[in-house]
Amino acid sequence: MWLNGGDTPGEENTEIWNAIGSILKSKNPQALVTFHPFGRTDSSDNYHNTSWLDFNMFQSGHRRYDQETEGKMYAQDNYKYVNVDFNLKPTKPTLDGEPSYEGIPQGLHDTLQPLWTNNDLRRYAYWSVFAGGAGFTYGHNAVMQMFSSGDNPAYGNKKLWIDAINDPGAQQMKFVKDLILKFPYFNRIPDATLIANQGEKYDYLAATRGEDYALIYTYNARNISINMGKIKGEEVEASWYNPKNGAITKVGTFKNEGIQEFKPSGEPIDGNDWVLILTSKQ
C-alpha cells in the first residue's frame, strides 16, 4: 500500500502528487494507492477522480472541539468526512488515516494538555466505521516515533514503543473488526434514520445496518431511542456489545415497530461506550 503526499496540503504541488501517484499505480498495479492529506482534510478534496487513487484517506487530526481556531471542517466529527466520501461518484472506499493518537496531547503541540486515551480511539473508530468507513487507522504517540530509551521525545512522549504496543486502545481495536465481521459486510450501509433522539458532539449516536441487523454506538451510555422497522422481521432480538472487551449481553426480544428505547449499563459519562445490536428474530 502506498501513501502518496505524506501529510501535506492536497491543494499544493498537485502536479507532483499526480505524477507520483500515476507512477506508483502504473509500476505497482497490484498495490493500493491513496493520498495522506493534511490535518482536517481529505484526499477526496483534490484527488478523488484521479485514476491512481484507489481509496480515500482523511486526517481527522488531534484537536478537541474547543481547540479549533482555523475554521477547519468537521472538527472532531470524523464521521462527517465519511458521509461526504460515501456519496461521491465513482464510489471509492474511505477511512480515517490519522485520528487523534493514544497518548498524544490534545491539540498535539502543548504537552501540558491532557492526553488522548483509548476511550477517544474507540469513539473515532466506531463513529467512522459505522458511517460507512472501510476501516480505521489506530495510532499511538510512542509507536509513531518508535520511541526507545535515550531518544529525544516528540509531543511529550515518555513511554517506550515496545510497551506502548500493548496499551488499551491497541488491544481494543480488534473488537471493532470482530463486530463488523459478525455480519454480512457488503450489504451494510450507514443509516442515521434509525435514531429517534440524535445528539451532537459526544452525544452523537452512530448507526449502521444490513437487511436483518442494526448496530448503534453510544460513547457515553445515552439512552438510545430507535425508529423500529428499518430491518426485516416482526420482532428483533437486542444485545449490548462492550467495545472494551467484546463481551455480548443479551437484552430480550422487542416488537419491530414504533419507537423503542434502550438503556445501556452504567453511568452516562464519556468513555462508558456501548454498541446496541439488533437482529431480526428467526
Q: Would you state the cell numbers that stand for residue 19, as one nine-digit string?
A: 505524477
Count how many domains the chain has.
2
Residues 175, 220 within the same domain: no
Read off the pLDDT of residues 269-280 as tens digits, 9 standing for 90 and up. Answer: 999 999 999 999
How confident is residue 52, by pLDDT bands cut at 50, 70 and 90?
A: very high
- Give the E-state strand segments of the chain in sequence order: 2-8, 33-37, 41-42, 56-59, 94-96, 189-190, 205-209, 213-218, 224-227, 235-241, 248-255, 259-262, 274-280
Residues 219, 91 within the same domain: no
Read off the pLDDT of residues 117-162 as tens digits, 9 standing for 90 and up. Answer: 999 999 999 999 999 999 999 999 999 999 999 999 999 999 999 9
Residues 193, 270 within the same domain: yes
Residues 176, 221 within the same domain: no
Residues 117, 253 within the same domain: no
pLDDT at 73 over 90: no
Say if residues 114 and 106 touch (Cβ distance below 8 Å).
yes
Residues 146, 221 within the same domain: no
The pLDDT value given to residue 68: 82
221: CATH: 2.60.40
> Residue 208: which of 136, 149, 148, 128 has the closest Cα?
128
Alpha-carbon distance of 174 to 167, in angstroms, equals 13
State the burial class of residue 205 (Cβ atoms within 10 Å of its Cβ: 0-12, 13-18, 19+): buried
- Domain containing 41 equals 2-180
Report the percentage of the chain scoring pLDDT > 90: 96
Average pLDDT for the chain: 96
Residues 174, 212 within the same domain: no
Q: How far is CA 133 from CA 110, 128, 180, 209, 280, in A?
A: 30, 5, 11, 13, 24
Average pLDDT for 162-179: 98
Alpha-carbon distance of 116 to 105, in angstroms, equals 6
The pLDDT value given to residue 72: 67
| DSSP state letter for 38 | P
How confident is residue 166, by pLDDT bands cut at 50, 70 and 90?
A: very high
The pLDDT value given to residue 71: 66
Domain end (from 152, 180, 208): 180
How confident is residue 246, by pLDDT bands cut at 50, 70 and 90?
A: very high
The pLDDT value given to residue 75: 84
Residues 196, 173 within the same domain: no
pLDDT at 235 over 70: yes
How confident is residue 282, by pLDDT bands cut at 50, 70 and 90?
A: confident
Residues 96, 232 within the same domain: no
